[in-house]
């Protein structure tokens, strides 16, 4: 395939090549426009001609002249084939549960459009144009949470999108209002699509939803793992820990790249700290710190390496063509199993495990700062007047509850399989389910790190007159612009939300990088 996909701040141009993760995020979250390139339109036209010839021929072709799944043995007469595609979409738009987030739906729409643009699915150019138009008009089909087993594609979620293309079902318009699809399309000057042979199948037979959620999670976790290095360093400093264990020569003895990066970040973040310097001399009786401090780079580093693996999987998937049957470069139309979501599902589950462990070690550091027996001189629960005030006691409860939930979310979905379609589809990936729980885990990790951030910043304040280092001090300053310092008990939930927002928008990492670069 040629490489013609490009992106600007405002537009992603889809050719026959792979997408980048950054382009997916731009369209899903920032509303970047999408444009089909000339080579994509040419490929679409060529692929459609092959499907048209197949539909007019005598040889049975799955999904063109036959039914679907366990009904694939039924021959469909030519005059029923358009109805076949409409019936497929309507019957498969059978989702249930809560409405899926708009950014996820936009991501799966974009990823399905990229596969269509390859020319290997055989849809009409006009059908791809219609999906392009819906994305650019900000029309987001209402997709419901349950309905994908992660095999034969994310069937129900993608079917809700295809249904909207047909002018049926419900959507959110560009203002976020929920309304009938036909009404929203008309308001945007778009026409419903009349599906021809194979087109319904091509619109729904992909792993686009789970892949979109993997890409978005990888984007978020990259920022969260750097944030975890920041909050860990602040906790080490607040607990009078040492930075010597993060030395590069010690890390080289166990040459994992993620560990080296995390340790280098923590060493840089603690550089120049008067608090660290205050107990560096021979008078210090501390031999070594607790595991939650000393082993922070080993845990965060393993999570980084897990993320690197997941990103490699995502990059390969972003170059993939997922459909069944598929038109091969030499013109054959072949059934295949590339719609099975195992590669994506495994990566999603692996990330949920890593996120849970990063959260777990952060919670242990928080607990140490609140325990008068282990905090090395800090007041109990960092309270202003312990006994009268409870300080951060219940913030740690909240953090512990989140960590426990993340441990449950770390149970892999991809080891589950439930047969469907009268045992024709007898092994499935559950990749969509793995993606849904990872999204919850990523949100929970953000809040866990927010509690550690709040607690470590308060502990650093309580070390006064000693001051934190330039980098950790800059982070504390960014937090103090939103959240006041120590004092009598006050309403804490909004402070946790503010700290979470600072983490989610990258402000914590940006504040640290005003003093030191981070890896």
Give the CATH number for residue 133.
1.10.275.10
Rounded to whole angstroms, how far apart are CA atoms 242 and 74?
71
So what's the pLDDT on residue 499? 98
Q: Which structure tokens are listed for 370?
A: 């609140």
Tell me the pLDDT tens digit for each residue of 393-427.
Answer: 999 999 999 999 999 999 999 998 888 877 777 78
Instruction: List the 178-180 sheet strands across, edge first.
Output: 140-141, 170-172, 178-180
Domain identity same for 425 and 473: yes
Res 10 pLDDT > 70: yes
Beta carbons within 8 Å of 403's beta carbon, 6+ residues apart = 356, 359, 360, 363, 444, 448
Res 35 pLDDT > 80: yes
- Looking at 27-41, 60-74, 218-232, which range is the least confident one? 60-74
Domain identity same for 144 and 26: yes
Domain identity same for 222 and 188: no
Give phi and psi for 255, each to the nearest 5.
-80, 60
So what's the pLDDT on residue 335? 86
Domain identity same for 323 and 201: no
The structural domain count of the chain equals 2
- pTM above threshold 0.85: yes
Res 280 pLDDT > 90: no
- Looking at 219-223, 279-283, 305-309, which range is the least confident one? 279-283
Average pLDDT over residues 437-444: 98
Last residue of a domain, which of 206, 238, 260?
A: 206
Rounded to whole angstroms, how far apart are CA atoms 283 and 396?
32
Does residue 138 lie within any of the structural domains? Answer: yes
Res 70 pLDDT > 70: no
- Known catalytic residue: 62? yes
Does residue 519 lie within any of the structural domains? Answer: no
Domain identity same for 28 and 171: yes
Tell me the pLDDT tens digit for each residue of 472-506.
Answer: 999 999 999 999 999 999 999 999 999 999 999 99
Domain identity same for 376 and 402: yes
pLDDT band at 245 (very low <50, low <70, confident <90, very high): very high
Domain identity same for 91 and 218: no
Res 440 pLDDT > 70: yes
CB 428, CB 420: distance < 8 Å: yes
Last residue of a domain, which of 171, 206, 241?
A: 206
Q: Which structure tokens are listed for 99?
A: 């409405």
Rounded to whole angstroms, how far apart are CA atoms 369 and 312?
37
Give the CATH number for residue 302.
1.20.200.10
Does residue 518 lie within any of the structural domains? Answer: no
pLDDT band at 72 (very low <50, low <70, confident <90, very high): low
Sign of the Cα torsion 90, 212, 320, 336 reads: negative
Tell me the pLDDT tens digit for each residue of 343-396.
Answer: 999 999 999 999 999 999 999 999 999 999 999 999 999 999 999 999 999 999
Angle between the N-to-C axes of helices 21-30 and 102-117, in degrees from 0 to 180, rounded to the nearest 10: 130
Q: Print the domain residue range for 97.
A: 6-206
Last residue of a domain, which of 188, 206, 224?
A: 206
Domain identity same for 247 and 196: no
Nearest alpha carbon to residue 245 among 291, 301, 300: 291
Does residue 159 lie within any of the structural domains? Answer: yes
So what's the pLDDT on residue 56? 75
Q: Which structure tokens are listed for 497?
A: 């939300």
Rounded to whole angstroms, how far apart are CA atoms 129 and 120?
16
Does residue 517 lie within any of the structural domains? Answer: no
So what's the pLDDT on residue 429? 87
Does residue 51 lie within any of the structural domains? Answer: yes
So what's the pLDDT on residue 135? 98
Domain identity same for 113 and 49: yes
pLDDT band at 328 (very low <50, low <70, confident <90, very high): confident
CB 108, CB 209: distance < 8 Å: yes
Does residue 222 lie within any of the structural domains? Answer: yes
So what's the pLDDT on residue 285? 66
Average pLDDT over residues 175-188: 98
So what's the pLDDT on residue 57? 67
Domain identity same for 184 and 324: no
Res 242 pLDDT > 80: yes
Average pLDDT over residues 290-314: 98
Domain identity same for 70 and 181: yes
Tell me the pLDDT tens digit for each residue of 95-121.
Answer: 999 999 999 999 999 999 999 999 999
Does residue 331 lie within any of the structural domains? Answer: yes
- Give the Å distances, CA to CA, from 448 to 122, 364, 366, 491: 47, 11, 10, 18
Q: What is the mean pLDDT of the chain?
A: 93
Active-site choice (62, 146, 291, 397)? 62
Give percent of the chain with pLDDT exceeding 70.
94
pLDDT band at 18 (very low <50, low <70, confident <90, very high): confident
So what's the pLDDT on residue 2? 33
Res 55 pLDDT > 90: no
Domain identity same for 199 and 239: no
């Amino acid at each position: 395939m040629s490489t013609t996909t490009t992106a600007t701040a405002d537009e992603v141009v889809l050719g026959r090549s792979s997408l980048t993760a950054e382009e997916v995020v731009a369209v899903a979250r920032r509303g970047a426009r999408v444009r089909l390139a000339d080579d994509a339109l040419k490929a679409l036209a060529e692929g459609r001609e092959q499907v048209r010839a197949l539909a007019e021929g005598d040889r049975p072709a799955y999904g063109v002249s036959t039914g679907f799944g366990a009904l694939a043995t039924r021959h469909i007469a030519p005059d029923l084939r358009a109805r076949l595609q409409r019936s497929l979409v309507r019957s498969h738009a059978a989702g249930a549960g809560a409405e899926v987030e708009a950014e996820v739906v936009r991501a799966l729409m974009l990823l399905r459009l990229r596969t269509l643009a390859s020319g290997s699915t055989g849809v009409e150019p006009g059908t791809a144009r219609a999906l392009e138009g819906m994305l650019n008009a900000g029309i987001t089909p209402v997709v419901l949470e349950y309905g994908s087993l992660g095999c034969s594609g994310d069937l129900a979620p993608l079917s809700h999108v295809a249904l909207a293309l047909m002018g049926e079902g419900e959507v959110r318009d560009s203002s976020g209002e929920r309304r009938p699809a036909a009404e929203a399309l008309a308001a945007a000057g778009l026409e419903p699509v009349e599906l021809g042979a194979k087109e319904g199948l091509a619109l729904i037979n992909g792993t686009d939803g789970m892949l979109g959620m993997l890409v978005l999670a990888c984007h978020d976790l990259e920022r969260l793992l750097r944030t975890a290095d920041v909050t860990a360093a602040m906790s080490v400093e607040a607990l009078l820990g040492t930075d010597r264990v993060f030395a590069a020569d010690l890390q080289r003895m166990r040459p994992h790249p993620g560990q080296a990066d995390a340790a280098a970040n923590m060493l840089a973040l603690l550089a120049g700290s008067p608090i660290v310097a205050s107990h560096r001399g021979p008078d210090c009786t501390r031999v070594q710190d607790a595991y939650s401090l000393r082993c922070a780079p080993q845990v965060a580093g393993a999570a980084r390496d897990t993320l690197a693996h997941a990103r490699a999987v995502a990059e390969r998937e972003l170059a993939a063509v997922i459909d069944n049957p598929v038109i091969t470069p030499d013109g054959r139309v072949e059934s295949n199993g590339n719609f099975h979501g195992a590669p994506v599902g495994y990566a999603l589950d692996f990330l949920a495990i890593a996120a849970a462990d990063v959260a777990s070690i952060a919670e242990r550091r928080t607990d140490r700062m609140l325990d008068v027996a282990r905090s090395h001189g800090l007041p109990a629960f960092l309270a202003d007047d312990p006994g009268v005030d409870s300080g951060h006691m219940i913030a740690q409860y909240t953090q512990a509850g989140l960590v426990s939930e993340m441990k449950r979310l770390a149970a892999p979905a991809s080891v589950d399989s439930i047969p469907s379609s009268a045992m024709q589809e007898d092994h499935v990936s559950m990749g969509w389910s793995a993606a849904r729980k990872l999204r919850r885990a990523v949100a929970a990790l953000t809040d866990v790190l927010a509690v550690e951030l709040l607690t470590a910043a308060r502990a650093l304040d309580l070390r006064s007159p000693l001051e934190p280092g330039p980098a950790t001090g800059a982070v504390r300053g960014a937090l103090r612009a939103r959240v006041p310092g120590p004092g009598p008990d006050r309403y804490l939930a909004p402070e946790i939300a503010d700290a979470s927002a600072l983490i989610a928008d990258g402000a914590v990492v940006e504040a640290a990088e005003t003093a030191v670069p981070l890896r």
